[in-house]
Amino acid sequence: MPSPLITLTTDFGRTAPYVAVMKGVILSINPAATIVDLTHEIRPQDVRHASYFLRTAVPYFPAGTVHVCVVDPGVGSERAALCVETPEQVLVGPDNGVFTGVIRRLGCRAAGALTAPPFWRAPSPSATFHGRDIFAPVAAHLSLGVGREEVAPGKFDPMLLPARCAVTFGKRWSGEVQFVDDFGNLITNIPACKMKGLPVRVSLGGAELGTVRWVRTYSEAAPGELVSLFSSDGYFEIAEVNGNAARKLKVDAGVVVELEQP
């Protein structure tokens, strides 16, 4: 039976050798491992970006996949190293909130801190490269059939990032921009499936945008026009056609969004 997939998500970029080093460690332990690069372009130290990315990507992978995430501004500090089991997949990485989105979407069946040095690359890992010395070797052992409770014995409550819940008051919605993609589209946490009507007025961070036209696709509006629509993963989105709404409006993730519906 083939080994489960091992995916890698980091903020290491394209030219540094760190990803190659992690792959070498994994293949040295499990030469038959299948390694899939999800992205190495997470914005540097942006735990919130990593959380949204994984929340969106992980559910589409087959059961048994081992996901490694190294977006770790606190490496070498007192933050724990973590192994989380969702109902069907396994996550390995720092306990700094990177798995918040996945846990909230898929649930956490069990979690433990990585406190078993026999599954590390060395008993005394580097203070600055836990991806090489802890996360990669642990993922490789998991892919060989080692159980979560062996690499991360005991129980642990993973850190979860704070979030502003999307709530409705009559014909008004309040939420936040949960992610800004590379096109500058503002993806909110307001679910399309729960909206009873299309929004008429939009405000961001308390600043009124006025009426923002709703479209089904970007092609329905002219270049440069600010529009609202439903994103591919089912949330209310604000975009500038052939432009960058985040740059135009000078906003980023975390900004409060308020909608008024007809």
Listed ranges 41-55, 169-183, 185-199; the one with the highest mean pLDDT: 41-55
**What pLDDT, on the 0 to 100 scale, is given for residue 171?**
84
Contacts of 164 (CB under 8 A, 6+ apart): 174, 175, 176, 189, 256
* Cα angle for residues 256, 260, 262 (degrees, 5° grid): 160
How does the average pLDDT of the chain come out, rounded? 94
> Can you tell me the distance from the alpha carbon of 47 to that of 193, in angstroms, rounded to the nearest whole number?
27
**What pLDDT, on the 0 to 100 scale, is given for residue 1?**
53
Q: Would you say how long the chain is, in residues? A: 262
Tell me the percentage of the chain whose pLDDT exceeds 70: 99
pLDDT bin (cut points 50, 70, 90) of residue 189 is: very high
CB 199 within 8 A of CB 214: yes
From the CB of residue 157, how many other CB atoms can be counted at a distance below 10 Å? 8
**pLDDT reading at 2 higher than 70:** no
The mean-pLDDT minimum among 26-40, 174-188, 203-217 falls in 203-217
Closest CA to 163 of 103, 100, 117: 100
pLDDT, one tens digit per residue, over 124-155 is: 999 999 999 999 999 999 999 999 999 999 99
**Block residue for tokens 């540097």:** 44
pLDDT, one tens digit per residue, over 245-256 is: 999 999 999 999
> Can you tell me the distance from the alpha carbon of 247 to that of 107, in angstroms, rounded to the nearest whole number?
34
Q: Is 229 helix (H, G, I), strand (E, B) or coil?
A: strand
pLDDT, one tens digit per residue, over 211-234 is: 899 899 999 999 999 999 999 989
Q: What is the DSSP letter of 233?
A: T
Closest CA to 43 of 87, 81, 10: 10
pLDDT bin (cut points 50, 70, 90) of residue 120 is: very high
Tell me the percentage of the chain whose pLDDT exceeds 90: 84
**What pLDDT, on the 0 to 100 scale, is given for residue 261?**
81
Closest CA to 29 of 148, 150, 143: 143
**pLDDT reading at 65 higher than 90:** yes
From the CB of residue 8, how many other CB atoms can be counted at a distance below 10 Å? 23
All structural domains of the chain: 5-151 (3.40.50.10790), 167-260 (2.40.30.90)
Contacts of 40 (CB under 8 A, 6+ apart): 8, 9, 10, 11, 12, 13, 14, 19
**What pLDDT, on the 0 to 100 scale, is given for residue 195?**
81
CB 101 within 8 A of CB 49: no
**What pLDDT, on the 0 to 100 scale, is given for residue 42?**
96
**What pLDDT, on the 0 to 100 scale, is given for residue 57?**
97
CB 195 within 8 A of CB 175: no
Which of the pair, 180 or 198, is modelled with greater confidence? 180
pLDDT bin (cut points 50, 70, 90) of residue 169 is: confident
**What pLDDT, on the 0 to 100 scale, is given for residue 137?**
98
> Can you tell me the distance from the alpha carbon of 183 to that of 93, in angstroms, rounded to the nearest whole number?
28
